[in-house]
Structure 1
Amino acid sequence: MALFLIALFLALGIFAGKYIEGTFFRKPMVEFKSEKGLQYLEYETPVFQDKSYKSSIVGTISPREVDVLETYKGWRMVESEHGVYWIPPTGIVYNFGSAVMLDVPARNQFPELKNGCEAVAAQMMLEKYGITLDKLEFAGEIPKDDTQMQKAGEDITVWGDPEKGFVGDITGQSYGYSIYPKPLSKFLRNYVENPVDLTGVEPQTLEKYIRGGNPVVAWVTVNFKDRDSNEIWMTPSGKMVKGSFNTHAMTMVGFDENHYYFNDPYTGAKNYKVTKQRFYEVWSAMGKKAISIE
């Protein structure tokens, strides 16, 4: 009986609890059809317990005709004799064992956007979905808090709130700081239906999004160096902000057993590698900030 059940699972292309070792995703899935009914999946894809990358991955489904019972923001619900599963709206470039890598266009924030890493990292994430953006126009649309910096000697006393918009000058002609996930993810609704603020999650959740074909923008530091300063200022409303001038955002595009891979807008590098341990140290020190797209 046990051998029969294993054979049945493999025949269906689903191996509960993990990917089948050696599965290789060469291309994203075909363009999503929003209607219900019979559809054909051309490529193997992960399936989830619910219509969210935060839910559990229950296995993979092989190329086949599926009967779509329900749709939700690009997710498709299909049913087999083993239960109901959700297919995500995007595919994966490849998955081999524990390694996943997405093919995401690399972009450089320089020379025009010295302080524009968040904008360019978000641009790369959106361009994964075929959205064409002009770097300067997109950065110009990013929400901003135009509060002027006030100083007492060398200390910043009053400045803007990164929870409202980009603080300072995004071009770098004068001081600039950052924009945080909440206002940036809200802004991205102008381009996609379901951006998500992942601040505070653990790295395993970021990996689920990557497995589902979705890049992640993560707030770290330039070259993953230690946080170099602890600037503290007040907003005009009396809110305290603690910042660091080596705050940096990168686009996470993949991972393997020991590393994460990023497109780095600071250098224009594609698939820049950092150990998982170092990423977690720096990302945690910067507040575990991240965004992606459901």
Structure 2
Amino acid sequence: MGKKKALLLVPVFMAGALVGVVQNEDQKTYVVHDSSFITPVIPAVKSEIKLNVPRIGQYPELPRGCEVTSLAMLLQYSGVSVDKMRLAKEVKKTTEPYVNKDGAVSYGHPNEGFVGDIYSLNNMGYGVYHKPIAMLAENYTPGRILDLTGAPFSQVLSSLQDNKPVWIITNVTYDVLPDSEFRTWQTPQGIVKITWKEHSVLITGYDKEYVYFNDPLLKKERAPRDKFIAAWEQMGSQAITYSD
């Protein structure tokens, strides 16, 4: 009997569960889901992909609702009939008030829920990160949501190659921000670093020069590939898609 080939395990969090990205001796890569089964990761070999995903704008109803609006586009493309307003109502919210005491800020953590007012810019607010969005999406597509946060951008490209758009967190410039654009505040879960330029879009394609996306602000449709990836990585490489 031949010698069993080893698998190298790299821990990755997907939809709240610790799974892994593994690679065998043939250099083939797989994703482990909840330690119960594995699926192959197909390298992104196509030089250009552009998915036709209908655009949805966050305004005027959701001036801070870029994350749930991008999620609505993702879910609708997957075959789920749900709109941005329902998702805005259902996304988990934080309850910690905004407190600024002599410049020391305390507030909610965006990976615990939506922070602040999603419906109006007249009140304090920020946004939400991948964990609450993945939890919300899981309610509509049980067992199909893949949280790719922390994975390399090649995983995003592989999803697009499989005709699956990808929800991500970036910033409104689609480029790396200077340190001066970031703030820190204290939360019950610890210190979090944020930028008021935080934004969410749905990636719908790529070519050699650009990444293409549906922007809930309905302003841009593409950004230079290297700059876009760097901005995404600066915001924690947050990404969510779905499987068949």
Partner SS state of residue 250, structure 1: strand
Match of 1:262 in 2: 213
User: What are the equivalent positions in structure 2 for 1:235-246 lying under 5 Å apart?
Assistant: 235=187, 237=188, 239-246=190-197
Matching residue within 143, 147, 159 for 1:197: 147
CA distance in 1, matches of 2:39, 2:213: 20
Instruction: Report Cα offsets for 1:26-66 as digits up to 9, x if no partner.
Output: xxxxxxxxxxxxxxxxxxxxxx988877613599xxxxxxx
Match of 1:168 in 2: 116
Partner SS state of residue 291, structure 1: strand
Could you tell me which amino acid in structure 2 is paired with residue 230 of structure 1? F
Could you tell me whether the CA contact under 8 Å between 2:44 and 2:158 is conserved in 1? no
Could you tell me whether the CA contact under 8 Å between 1:185 and 1:291 is conserved in 2? yes
TM-score by length of 2: 0.77
Consecutive unaligned residues in structure 2, runs of 5 or more: 1-28, 32-36
CA pair 266-282 structure 1, distance change in 2 beyond 3 A: same
TM-score by length of 1: 0.65
Instruction: Report Cα offsets for 1:189-237 as digits up to 9, x if no partner.
Output: 11112212111111111000011111101111113254362211111x3
Partner SS state of residue 163, structure 1: coil
CA distance in 1, matches of 2:96, 2:240: 25
CA pair 262-53 structure 1, distance change in 2 beyond 3 A: farther
CA pair 54-217 structure 1, distance change in 2 beyond 3 A: farther
In the TM superposition, what is the alpha-carbon distance from 1:133 to its structure 2 partner?
Answer: 2.0
CA pair 226-156 structure 1, distance change in 2 beyond 3 A: farther
CA pair 288-58 structure 1, distance change in 2 beyond 3 A: closer
Could you tell me whether the CA contact under 8 Å between 1:106 and 1:268 is conserved in 2? no
User: What are the equivalent positions in structure 2 for 1:90-101 lying under 5 Å apart?
Assistant: 98-101=47-50
Matching residue within 202, 208, 221 for 1:251: 202
Match of 1:229 in 2: 181
CA distance in 1, matches of 2:39, 2:241: 10
CA pair 111-175 structure 1, distance change in 2 beyond 3 A: same
Matching residue within 138, 142, 152 for 2:87: 138
CA distance in 2, matches of 1:149, 1:103: 40
Q: Percent identity over the alignment?
A: 29
Could you tell me whether the CA contact under 8 Å between 1:215 and 1:251 is conserved in 2? yes
User: What are the equivalent positions in structure 2 for 1:17-166 lying under 5 Å apart?
Assistant: 55-57=41-43, 98-153=47-102, 155=103, 157-166=105-114
Could you tell me whether the CA contact under 8 Å between 2:44 and 2:157 is conserved in 1? no
Partner SS state of residue 211, structure 2: strand
CA distance in 2, matches of 1:143, 1:53: 30
Partner SS state of residue 169, structure 1: coil
Could you tell me whether the CA contact under 8 Å between 2:74 and 2:165 is conserved in 1? yes
Could you tell me which amino acid in structure 2 is paired with residue 243 of structure 1? I
In the TM superposition, what is the alpha-carbon distance from 1:178 to its structure 2 partner?
Answer: 1.8
Q: Structure 1 residue 285 and structure 2 residue 234: aligned?
A: yes
Could you tell me whether the CA contact under 8 Å between 1:142 and 1:166 is conserved in 2? yes
CA pair 167-128 structure 1, distance change in 2 beyond 3 A: same
CA distance in 1, matches of 2:226, 2:30: 29
CA distance in 2, matches of 1:256, 1:245: 29
Could you tell me which amino acid in structure 2 is paired with residue 196 of structure 1? L
CA distance in 2, matches of 1:109, 1:195: 23
Partner SS state of residue 146, structure 2: strand
Consecutive unaligned residues in structure 1, runs of 5 or more: 1-47, 60-96
Could you tell me whether the CA contact under 8 Å between 2:43 and 2:154 is conserved in 1? no
Relative contact order (alpha carbons < 8 A, sep ≥ 6): 1 or 2 greater? 2
Q: Structure 1 residue 208 and structure 2 residue 158: aligned?
A: yes
Partner SS state of residue 133, structure 2: helix
